[in-house]
Amino acid sequence: MQDIEPFYNWRHIYVANEDEHSPFWGHANSEFQYSNTIYNYYIHPQWDSFGSTTLYVKALFVDYEQNIAILEFIGEWNDAIENDCMLLKRDLIDCLLQKGIYKFILITENVLNFHSSDDSYYEEWYQDIEEEGGWILFLNMPAATKAEFMQISIHRYAFFMDIEQWRTLQPLILMNFIEQKLLRIQQNTEE
């Protein structure tokens, strides 16, 4: 796990610790000092903490004019013991909502499993953004983890999608691509 770095090819466009509106503004990440762990395994020092001991995040891109945040995660999403969704919602998402963000791409290919509780924070998050036409999208979640999310019907509040080549796209192109796919999904649902 210590070798898995957050995606860094958009750093010329956005750096969370240089964004004065970001909850990570001014936070300095070490390049070499490993201090955060998931259980007994050190993770790369570029991952940011939002209060969970099992799940870490990196804000890869935020655009306040396009109302979009792209967040990458690593670890175990544990709502049963750690209440990760509550921590995420209160300490990161609510800050972004206050700045006008209502479209969320959550890159979850490094989320290895999920332990559920109830869905109240997902429902609250959805209610916070639905009036604006917002959405939550889990991108490239491993199949086993996705099945665990589906068991408690998170798909009522969020979409799941796989885009293998997302790293080759610029962030706004990725957002537009996803919005077009979501529009088609919604049109097919209405028919």
Give the separation between CA 183 and CA 65, rounded to whole angstroms. Answer: 20
For the chain, what is the mean pLDDT? 93
> 120: which 2 tokens?
């109240």
In a domain, 114, yes or no: yes
Q: What is the mean pLDDT of residues 66-90?
A: 95
In a domain, 86, yes or no: yes
What CATH number is attached to the domain comprising 177? 3.30.750.24
State how many domains the chain has.
1
Q: What is the pLDDT of residues 36-61, one digit of tens each?
A: 888 888 999 999 999 999 999 999 99
In a domain, 5, yes or no: no
Q: Percentage of the chain with pLDDT > 70?
A: 98
Contacts of 31 (CB under 8 A, 6+ apart): 45, 46
Q: What is the pLDDT of residues 117-175, one digit of tens each?
A: 888 999 999 999 999 999 999 999 999 999 999 999 999 999 999 999 999 999 999 99
pTM beyond 0.85: the answer is yes
Give the separation between CA 113 and CA 162, rounded to whole angstroms. Answer: 17
Its domain, for residue 48, covers 16-190
Give the separation between CA 104 and CA 89, rounded to whole angstroms. Answer: 12
Pairing type for strands 68-78 and 55-63 reads antiparallel
Round to the nearest angstrom and report the end-to-end CA distance of the chain. 44
